[in-house]
Chain A
Amino acid sequence: AQSVTQLDSHVSVSEGTPVLLRCNYSSSYSPSLFWYVQHPNKGLQLLLKYTSAATLVKGINGFEAEFKKSETSFHLTKPSAHMSDAAEYFCVVSDPYFGNEKLTFGTGTRLTIIP
């Protein structure tokens, strides 16, 4: 079965410093991987996706993620944090073998930005 593990439930960084949110995945086949962001009392917004093309994926708002098959990881990074980045971030896997487009979410990482 497919699954994702977000290694940190909370991450705090100072404004202007780099952000690293860690995610490991488990999938029997070549997965699609996503990062979604959820601001308080809002729905989920797609940040970026990996679908077996380039392993370094660029998303919106300066975020990017690197797919590393050997490490089964898909960590999210941003060079310089902004106050507006404070939110909940979800790493998500979709494995076509188990059903087209079913998404399996991690438990989330809450990102806090220190002024």
Chain B
Amino acid sequence: DAGVTQSPTHLIKTRGQQVTLRCSPKSGHDTVSWYQQALGQGPQFIFQYYEEEERQRGNFPDRFSGHQFPNYSSELNVNALLLGDSALYLCASSTGVRVEQYFGPGTRLTVT
């Protein structure tokens, strides 16, 4: 049973560019959440998708957007990249009946 997978593993972008990160949830999971983990800090909640709709959103600007597909996989898009967007981006999946979330290995984004 494959766990949560994310791609790419690493990414280097320039300020002002746009980036798309991808996530496939654990088998049987229908909810995907995205988190940003800056160096030396705990993860911060960006948003959560369920039934292809954004269900919750954390304190992140509109430059951060997402999408969930019918197969429950998800994308995180960040526009107009800033140096401060450099971080580890973590995807987590869960089901509606259990509270725990399972995390993927993350995508390390570096903005230069």
Interface residues of A (CB under 8 A from B): 32, 34, 36, 42-46, 49, 51, 90, 94, 96, 99-108
Contacts and interface: CB of A to CB of B under 8 A. Distances in A.
- Tell me which of B44, B45, B48, B100 has the highest count of chain A C-beta atoms within 10 A of its own C-beta: B100
B102 A46 contact: yes
A90 B100 CA distance: 14
Interface residues of B, number: 25
The 4 closest A-B pairs by CB, nearest first: A105-B42, A44-B103, A43-B105, A99-B56
A87 to B, nearest CB: 14
Q: Which of B31, B43, B48, B92 has the most CB of A within 10 A?
A: B43
A107 B44 CA distance: 10
A105 B43 contact: yes
A104 B41 contact: no
A43 to B, nearest CB: 4
Given A36-B103, A43-B104, A49-B99, 15 more contacts: A32-B99, A43-B90, A46-B100, A46-B101, A46-B102, A49-B100, A51-B99, A100-B56, A101-B94, A102-B33, A102-B48, A102-B56, A106-B42, A107-B41, A108-B41
